[in-house]
Structures are given as structure tokens and as C-alpha cells.
Structure 1
């Protein structure tokens, strides 16, 4: 029997920590809770989490800084919680590498749905049929992707690790090369839910992926915007032996 996914909740509000620990445990997850970044580091050192639920407003090091620090050497999925109604805070979290965000106050059932979706994208508990199988190595433009290790290699020799929501977005594009995919369809395929008005999360992800893949992100040649229609991977994809 497989072990349950391990969720680490980082929030300085006692009521929120206790509520989430109880609710997520009742829904089959192993849960630890931390009050700040230092306590989070101690938990991670003892046991690596499958996903981190990270509050923005924390004493000392805030959630944005923690997220950016974690992304320097880790692809652990991160869902950020923010009490701010300002979309800028949510966009900043995505730019720093968060996989999803949720505003406070929130319904625990919605957070549970977000956790399940992010873990599916990260590969936790993901079962694929033979028809869904992805070749181990894919070449597109100047890049080669090893889908087993999730490492990208450029013709120049540059190597990049890619994971979480960035990997999910890239894989959707690689499955539909030279096809325009609408923003709504991309949102559905990568986040397992519909987009909402003024939601800029997908655009931030595309921008972040361009920063990693394009020679000139300001004039992208691989991931193109088709005005009024969506996004296009403007190169063929070749499966390598």
C-alpha cells in the first residue's frame, strides 16, 4: 500500500493550522504544521513534504521570500495562501515559483481540490494508460527534454531542471505542437479547473516558461501568443529513441 502524500502547512495562525491539519488528515493525507520559515526548515529536514501550503503573511521571513528560497534548489509543489485582495500579491507568488494560490478566507474543500490538482500535475499518484504514455526523450527547437528526470538540455549544453506547474504547462504544449490552444483550455489542462475573470496566473506561467526557454523572452520564437486565440508551440516535437 502506498504511503499518503505528506502535506506541510506553514501558517502563524493557530486556528488555521489546526483546522487544516484536522481536515487534511481526515481526507487521507499525512500532515505537519509549522508557524514560520525556521520551523518549516526543521520539518523539511526531518521529512520531505509532498506539498507545502504556505501563508504569505508570516513573522520574520514572509511567504514570498520563503517561496523564492525554496525554488533555488527544490521543485516541491507550493500553494500560497494570501489574505490580500490585491491580485498583485498572487501574481508575485506565481512569479516566485508557487504552483497555485488561494485567497483567505477560503473553503477547506476548495483547498483540498487545489492540493489534489497540484499533486496530480506533480505526478503524485498519477496513473497513466498506455495511450497516455510519453516518450522518455523529446526534442523541440534547441531543447531536449528527459521526461523521466524532467531535465531540459539545450544544444549549447545548458541544463535546466523543470517541475511543478511549469512542467505541466510545457507537457501540454509538447502534446499539441503547432496548434493554437486557448487560454481557457490551457488553464483547464494544467490546473484542472476553469479560469476566472482577470485571472493572470496562466499568463505569469507562460512568461516564466519563456524566461527559461527563449533566447529572447521579449520576442519569443518557441511559445507564441496568438492574439485573441491563445498560445502556440511554434516548433515540431520529435520523439527520440
Structure 2
């Protein structure tokens, strides 16, 4: 089996070359991309396992590209940027990134985070294959084998791998509060300090998507305890 192919999109040529070399030394294959066109060409022609996307990429910028890629693909995305402010991290995650790293960073840490986001996707796919079932709650229908989520009005809602995995966990523990730290662990979110907002952003994204069309998302926050799917679940 070939090693995972990582698409490296960085504004600086020397950084692209260095990062590709480091990833190959850590057991990956790497493909460099200098422009948005390079990214689309790669995604359309080869099986990319994950995308490392520089937020400072130009024409369009990395943030806009993150949103566009997420609308077309569920490929895991790690955003990288010189700006490490909480606002930028949250914006990157809101746009669909699976993780966010501030430059400079070590190749070893990037490799670990890449394995984590890809493992999350594999776990989610294995989850669907293992269950081969449907779940219904509050008018919603989830088909785990097909990875389909259907709203009460029969419209289909598109979820990323991370969002679908999170929803599956909440369904598995319906009407039970899951502690925030435990939910981070179960969802495959990297180990992080308690101030990390990755899981909160994922919850927010999931709520927003399930709330499209005026449908109430039955995901509640229990202050000081965690999150819970408040609806009863019927398995079929």
C-alpha cells in the first residue's frame, strides 16, 4: 500500500520544498501546490489523503480556498499561518479546516496531526461500515453506510467527515451528557489545553448545518458539563 499523499500548498517555494522533503522523511508522499489552480488540479486527478494549506496563499487567499475546498471535498485540511491569534484559529476551523497550526512548527508535530486527522476520517468510515444501519431522531434520518443525513423536510444535509463523526458519537450517546474533554478524545481531536476551541467550533458547525431551513438542532450545551443530543434515537 502506498503511503498517504499529502498536498502541500504554501506561498513560499522554499517552504514548500522543505515541507515536502520533511513529510517524505516522516513516511508520507508529498505533492507541492503553489496556486489555487494547482490545488484543484491535484484534487481532480489524484487521491489526496490530506491538504496542508497556507492561509497566506494568494489569488484567492488560503481562507477563501479552505471554504471552497470544503464545499467540494471532505479531504482533511490542516491550515497553517504565521498568525496564531484565537480569532484566526476559530475562523479557519469555522471555514472547514480540521486543524490549525501556527508557523513556525516542527515537521514532527505536523506529521502527528496529519495522522490524527486522517485517523479520524478512517474511524468515521469504519463506523459507517460496521453499523450498516440507520438512525432517526426528531424527524432526522442518518444512514451510516451511505453517510447521508436527511432533514425532516427530506432535504439532504452535507457534513464533513469530522462533523459526521461527531454526530455519530452524539447519536451513540443520545440523551447522555458527554464531557467536553471526553468528546474531544472520542472525536479524535488532537490533545490540547482546555482553552482549545476545536470541539466547540465543530459543535457550532454541526448545529448550524442541522439548523438550516429552520429545523431545530437537538444538540444542547450543559454548562460546566458538556454536550448532549437531547432527542431519543430509533435505530433501524
In the other structure, the counterpart of 1:70 is 69
* TM-superposed deviation, 1:62: 0.9
Unaligned runs of 5+ in 2: none
Matches within 5 A, 1:185-224: 185-214=182-211, 222-224=218-220
Looking at structure 2, the residues matched to 60 and 215 of structure 1 have their Cα atoms a distance apart, in angstroms, of: 30
* TM-superposed deviation, 1:196: 1.4
Change (3 A) 1:150 1:65: same
| CA-to-aligned-CA distance 1:174-231 (integer Å, 9 cap, x gap) | 22111111111111222353331432221111111001113688x9651100011110
Please tell me whether residue 232 in structure 1 is matched to residue 228 in structure 2.
yes
Any runs of at least 4 consecutive aligned residues in structure 1 with deviations exceeding 4 A, and if so which? 124-128
Q: Which one of 123, 143, 148 corresponds to residue 146 of structure 1?
A: 143
Change (3 A) 1:215 1:42: closer
Larger displacement relative to structure 2 (189-198 or 230-239): 189-198
Structure 2 contact 132–145 (Cα < 8 Å) conserved: no
Change (3 A) 1:70 1:127: closer
Q: Count the aligned residue pairs.
A: 235
Structure with higher helix content:
2
Structure 1 contact 140–237 (Cα < 8 Å) conserved: yes
- Superposition TM-score, scaled by structure 1 size: 0.88
In the other structure, the counterpart of 2:57 is 58
Q: 1:72 is paired with a residue of what secondary structure? A: helix
In the other structure, the counterpart of 2:154 is 157
* TM-superposed deviation, 1:47: 1.4
In the other structure, the counterpart of 1:15 is 14
Change (3 A) 1:179 1:37: same
| CA-to-aligned-CA distance 1:71-121 (integer Å, 9 cap, x gap) | 222211111001102111111111111111111111111111111111111
In the other structure, the counterpart of 1:82 is 81
- Superposition TM-score, scaled by structure 2 size: 0.90
